[in-house]
Amino acid sequence: MREPYQILSIPYRIIDGTPLFCIFRRADSKYWQFIAGGGENGETPTQAAIRETIEEMGVEPKNIKQLTCIAYVPAEVVAESRQQHWDKNTYVIPEYSFAFECDSDPTLSLEHIEYKWLTYDEARKLLKWDSNKVAMYEIDSIIKGKL
């Protein structure tokens, strides 16, 4: 059963003091985004973020960190057939954001056709969704505060 929330998972690495973010180009619609998906069968958002990252990237995130920012997205991003157990008045669902430091390159799933490791400014220009940009801003600020 699909849970009524989305997750966003942001892989990053730091090279010579510069944060780089791994973005993914979707196979079906060709736009760029971070790893996204939803909870299944009672998973917590953190559990869903770990599972989705493994499924879409082939990497198990270590020390995944839940970010503060939460976006809301239209419930229609989830196939109607998967919403059958939700309250009929569910029009938007929360999107919880996570980030993790990653030292390996992804093995792409069928959901994506390519990936790129980019700086904040480069990734911001390509990302489609504002929620991805806001979450990247938060983890970029956290990283830079520690450097």
Nearest 5°: the CA angle 21, 25, 26 is 135
For residue 65, the enclosing domain spans 2-146
pLDDT tens across 106-132, in order?
Answer: 999 999 999 999 999 999 999 999 999
Burial class (CB in 10 A: 0-12, 13-18, 19+), 110: exposed
**pLDDT score recorded for residue 77:** 82
Taking CA atoms, 109 is separated from 51, 54, 60, 125, 136, in Å, by 13, 9, 14, 24, 22
Helix-, strand-, coil-residue percentages of the chain, each rounded to 5 = 30, 40, 30
Sequence-ordered list of residues with C-beta below 8 angstroms from that of 17, at least 6 positions apart, any chain = 147
Q: Please report which confidence band the pLDDT of residue 18 belongs to, taking 50, 70 and 90 as the band edges.
A: very high
pLDDT tens digit sequence for 31-63: 999 999 999 999 999 999 999 999 999 999 999
* CATH number of the domain residue 86 falls in: 3.90.79.10
What's the token pair of residue 6? 């989305």
Q: Per the structure, how many domains does the chain have?
A: 1
Q: How many CB atoms lie within 10 A of CB 67?
A: 18
